[in-house]
């Protein structure tokens, strides 16, 4: 079992059955799954996207200044982080929000050492605000934070149960990989994460497991080594 993980959650998945914002049922399910593995002694850092509220790149396509659009996206990830921390606290799991840019008292300013200190005390460190810089996605933010906090693995929770030869929601003939190397992802042109994030993980030998977080119990199954999802690794 992994001792320390970086869990990347999709902001869009937080919408659940809604068209926008946060679905309270989905948020509670995520909190329950996360507490289950925290109770197993796993140290947990979390990065959440903000696509359920605002996505900087799509905003730029609608006339927003790209830098301001990305900053709006950083704020969206912080809203999601606050929601998740509240849901975790409500079920008795301590969690702290650390932000990439100074937002005190909304959250503490992120540092590697503070995040590790909290995780070692059994608290969950929710790392908001992406990298704190424009032009970087939350995938890149999760790769960076995973490397910084010395995580054993990045768990990328998505709406699909792994990496496929094509988008399974569009192509019913798509087949799933149980495991795949970073080089194969490049060669096949698969869009697991953006290239910056993928390269960061490959160069720093941080493995990724892509799995369906929306199915209750899957997070525990991944931690117990069950063969669900897709493992991405560096040979």
Q: What is the pLDDT of residues 96-120, one digit of tens each?
A: 999 999 999 999 999 999 999 999 9
CA distance 146 to 149: 6
CB-based contact 50:73 (threshold 8 Å): yes
Taking the chain, what is the end-to-end CA distance rounded to the nearest angstrom?
Answer: 20
Helix (H, G, I), strand (E, B) or coil at 48: strand
| Residue 63 pLDDT level (bands cut at 50, 70, 90) | confident
pLDDT at position 144 over 80: yes
pLDDT at position 35 over 80: yes
pLDDT at 56: 65
Give residue for tokens 């301001």.
68
Residue 26's Cβ-side half-sphere holds a number of Cα atoms within 13 Å equal to 22
**Among the listed residues 33, 47, 32, the one whose alpha carbon sits nearest the alpha carbon of residue 208:** 47
3-state helix, strand and coil shares in percent for the chain, rounded to the nearest 5: 40, 20, 40
Q: Which whole number is the average pLDDT over 150-159? A: 95
CB-based contact 115:98 (threshold 8 Å): yes
Helix (H, G, I), strand (E, B) or coil at 177: strand
CA distance 202 to 187: 14
Q: Which whole number is the average pLDDT over 220-230? A: 93
pLDDT at 235: 79
pLDDT at 133: 95
Please indicate whether residue 130 or residue 1 has the higher confidence score (pLDDT). Answer: 130
Task: Please count the other Cβ atoms lying within 10 Å of the Cβ belonging to residue 100.
Answer: 23
| Residue 54 pLDDT level (bands cut at 50, 70, 90) | confident
CB-based contact 125:134 (threshold 8 Å): no
Residue 64: which residues within 8 A CB-CB, separation 6 or more? 56, 72
**Among the listed residues 159, 35, 18, the one whose alpha carbon sits nearest the alpha carbon of residue 85:** 35
Residue 7's Cβ-side half-sphere holds a number of Cα atoms within 13 Å equal to 32
Q: Which whole number is the average pLDDT over 122-133? A: 97
CA distance 208 to 230: 8
Q: What is the pLDDT of residues 177-210, one digit of tens each?
A: 999 999 999 998 888 898 999 999 999 999 999 9
CA distance 151 to 188: 27
CB-based contact 72:59 (threshold 8 Å): yes
User: What domains, with CATH codes, occur in the chain?
Assistant: 4-233 (3.40.1160.10)
| Residue 57 pLDDT level (bands cut at 50, 70, 90) | low
pLDDT at position 159 over 90: no
């Amino acid at each position: 079992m992994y001792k320390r993980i970086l869990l990347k959650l999709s902001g869009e998945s937080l919408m659940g059955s809604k068209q926008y914002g946060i679905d309270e049922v989905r948020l509670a399910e995520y909190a329950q799954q996360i507490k289950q593995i925290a109770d197993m002694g796993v140290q947990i850092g979390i990065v959440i996207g903000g696509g359920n509220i605002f996505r900087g790149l799509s905003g730029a396509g609608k006339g927003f200044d790209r830098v301001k659009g990305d900053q709006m996206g950083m704020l969206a990830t912080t809203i999601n982080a606050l929601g998740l921390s509240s849901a975790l606290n409500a079920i008795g799991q301590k969690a702290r929000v650390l932000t990439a840019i100074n937002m005190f008292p909304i959250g503490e300013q992120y540092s590697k050492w503070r995040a590790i200190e909290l995780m070692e005390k059994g608290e969950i460190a929710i790392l908001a605000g992406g990298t704190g810089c424009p032009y970087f996605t939350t995938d890149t933010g999760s790769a960076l934070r995973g490397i910084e906090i010395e995580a054993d693995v990045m768990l990328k929770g998505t709406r699909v149960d792994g990496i496929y030869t094509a988008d399974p929601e569009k192509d019913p003939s798509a087949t799933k990989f149980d495991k795949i190397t970073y080089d194969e992802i490049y060669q096949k042109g698969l869009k697991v994460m953006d290239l910056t994030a993928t390269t960061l993980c490959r160069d720093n030998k941080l493995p990724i497991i892509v799995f369906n977080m929306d199915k209750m119990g899957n997070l525990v199954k991944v931690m117990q080594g069950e063969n669900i999802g897709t493992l991405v690794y560096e040979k």
